[in-house]
Amino acid sequence: MGWVTAKRLFFLVVLVAVTLAAMRLTIPEPDRLTPLSSKFRDVLAPAQSGLTWLSRQARHVVTMPLSLYGAAERSQALEQEVESLQYEITQLNEYKAENQRLTGLLNYKQVMVQQYDLLVASVIARDPGNWFATVTLNRGSRDGVRENMTVLTPQGLVGRVITVSNTNCEVLLITDPRSGVGALIQETRAPGIVEGTVGSSGLARIIHIPNDAQVEEGQVVVTSGLGSIFPKGIPIGIIASVSVESAGLFKRADIRLFADMNQLEEVFIVTTVFPEAGTPPAGGG
């Protein structure tokens, strides 16, 4: 090995070692967001929000030319008119869909008013990679959002707030491998922990179910309220398949989640849990 190669190898080893150390030092801790990261997020939030809105509009507009296929005989002017009308219809449909979603949220909020104080938030950005599952919401500390607040949709549990800046917050979805939620099977009251698999899969599983518990496909999994982060009784999903953990002491089961993690647009942040909360809310499916 020549001196040049040795020096390069030494530099590479030092670089990798320093990077590995940095990686360990920057493992996220709850309630920690540096002022620099906070500012960085606040500055990027409008750009991310704008791009997300644009992409959602584009998805609806892209389907429009298909409906115009085969209309070659029409005059250019008429086609243009049709295009503009189609665009308008697409926009109106988008408003209609948004209206239906918001009406659903409002109904849910009215039903849940006895149990929780809910704050509506929109998803403005997602984790850039596929390993983890986090989303950024357009609500921050100025709206009263705090770390560890529960995030849900009328269908079921979504995750919890992990970091908050002034104008937005980051939510750890229950499909993230770092997420753990105290849960129980509604029918049998058997306890377990719901953990994520990988971010992109949109799947979660319940682990550490006692071996003697009756676990079957189709049973509903809800939050247990243990651990003091998630309120009790929020629907999580339905058991899709059951297996035995490798150690043989517990069972585990894959869960089909009620909330579609890949299609999140508007969500609720639970800002206050009233003492009588705990009965399972409506929804789930």
Partner 1 sequence: MPFPFLLILLVAALLLQTSVLEVVSVAGVKPDLVMLIVVLNGFLLGPREGAFLGYIGGIVEDLFLGEYIGLNAISKMAAGYLAGVAGERLYKENTLVATGVTFFSAAAGLLVNYLLLFFLDLHVSPFYALLRLALPTALYTALLAPFIFGRIFRYFQVRSKDF
What residue ranges bind partner 1 (CB under 8 A)? 15-16, 19-20, 22-28, 33-34, 37, 40, 44, 47-48, 51-52, 54-56, 58-59, 124-131, 136, 177-178, 197-203, 261-262
In the complex with partner 1, which residue's Cβ is closer, 172 or 234?
172
In the complex with partner 1, which residue's Cβ is closer, 80 or 243?
243
In the complex with partner 1, which residue's Cβ is closer, 64 or 273?
64
In the complex with partner 1, which residue's Cβ is closer, 257 or 277?
257
Q: How far is the CB of 265 from partner 1 (least distance, A)?
A: 10
Maximum Cα–Cα distance for the chain, whole Å?
75
Reference 268, options 152, 126, 117; nearest CA is: 152
d(CA 59, CA 66): 13
d(CA 52, CA 220): 33
Q: Are 159 and 176 in contact (CB under 8 A)?
A: yes
d(CA 232, CA 226): 8
DSSP per residue, 103-166: HHHHHHHHHGGGTEEEEEEEEEEE-SSSS--EEEES--GGGT--TT-EEE-SSSEEEEEEEE-S
Q: How far is the CB of 24 from partner 1 (least distance, A)?
A: 7
In the complex with partner 1, which residue's Cβ is closer, 180 or 280?
180
Q: Which residue has the tokens 């750009």?
A: 47
Per DSSP bridges, beta strands 116-126 and 157-164 are unpaired
In the complex with partner 1, which residue's Cβ is closer, 60 or 232?
60
In the complex with partner 1, which residue's Cβ is closer, 58 or 77?
58
In the complex with partner 1, which residue's Cβ is closer, 112 or 170?
170
Q: What is the rounded radius of gyration, in angstroms, for the C-alpha atoms of the chain?
A: 23
Q: Which residues contact 88 (CB under 8 A, 6 or more apart)?
A: none
Report the chain's terminal Cα–Cα distance, integer Å. 64
| Structure tokens belonging to residue 39 | 């500012």
d(CA 192, CA 184): 6
| Structure tokens belonging to residue 1 | 């090995």
Q: How far is the CB of 38 from partner 1 (least distance, A)?
A: 9
Q: How far is the CB of 47 from partner 1 (least distance, A)?
A: 6
Q: How far is the CB of 104 from partner 1 (least distance, A)?
A: 21
Q: How far is the CB of 247 from partner 1 (least distance, A)?
A: 14
Q: How far is the CB of 278 from partner 1 (least distance, A)?
A: 32
Q: How far is the CB of 164 from partner 1 (least distance, A)?
A: 13
| Structure tokens belonging to residue 160 | 């919890």
Q: Are 203 and 175 in contact (CB under 8 A)?
A: yes
Strand, helix or coil at 72? coil
